[in-house]
Homo-oligomer: A and B are copies of this chain.
Amino acid sequence: MEKQKYALIVAGGSGKRMETDIPKQFIEVAGLPILMHAIKAFYSTDPNIKFVIVLPEHQHKYWKQLIEKHNFSINHIVANGGSERFFSVKNGLEYISENSLVAVHDGVRPLVSATTINNCYALAEKNGSSLPVVPATESIRVVHNGESKAVDRSKYFMVQTPQIFTAEIILKAYEQAFSPLFTDDASVVEQLGNKIHLVDGNPENIKITRPMDLKIAEALFEIDC
């Protein structure tokens, strides 16, 4: 029997970096709040995916208003965000059943493609973990002790989400104590010695963090839709 697929979508933005009062996950792009695009991307890929949306508690009411405003009908559980991304994911994991596949996705990546989503679930089912990456498009330099040097960019990859794991692996990983070195779910899972398997992401799958990213996302939706 096929494993149940979950999408745990984490949105903890407060809006500060966007120079706006609206948390970035709620900003409308191409007619819909960014977070709804992210949910839709998974739902369109597979309507049997179960959704857990992690949002700061004080944003739950506003989220309900947005759902009404947009007649948003995709079923989902809303979990409470934590003080760090680690704790937000941990909270969301309480709603996950065993023997499933768990995708952890940034709520501000509305442009993830069906191909990326399918490839990530498939690789995680096969190998336990998957991580979408894209090659670096620019030269890269690393700074050590105030001096910078060029690195071989062909060895470097930019990490996207969804990061997908079997429930067994991710539930165990999130029993660990928090460390500031945990920058994403892969780093949490890796800490227990699990190998992380890379898969091609889609370049459009950008993380919306700066005001210019809103314009970029708007333009990219025009190609897609």
Contact = CB atoms under 8 A, between A and B. Distances in A.
Interface in A174-225: 183-184, 186-187, 190, 195-196, 198, 203-204, 207, 209-210, 212, 215-216, 218-220, 222-223
Contacts of A198: 141, 143, 148
Given A140-B156, A186-B150, A190-B149, A215 B207 contact: no
A153 interface: yes
Nearest to A163: B139
A95 to B, nearest CB: 25
A139 B188 CA distance: 13
Interface string A54-90: 0000000000000000000000000000000000000
A126 interface: no
A156 to B, nearest CB: 6
A157 B186 contact: no
A113 to B, nearest CB: 12
Given A216-B220, A219-B215, A153 B210 contact: no
A147 B218 CA distance: 35
Contacts of A195: 147
Contact of A156 (B131, B141, B184, B209): B141
Interface string A117-147: 0000000000000010100111111111001
Given A137-B210, A212-B220, 11 more contacts: A138-B160, A139-B184, A140-B157, A141-B159, A143-B157, A147-B195, A148-B157, A148-B196, A150-B186, A156-B156, A215-B219
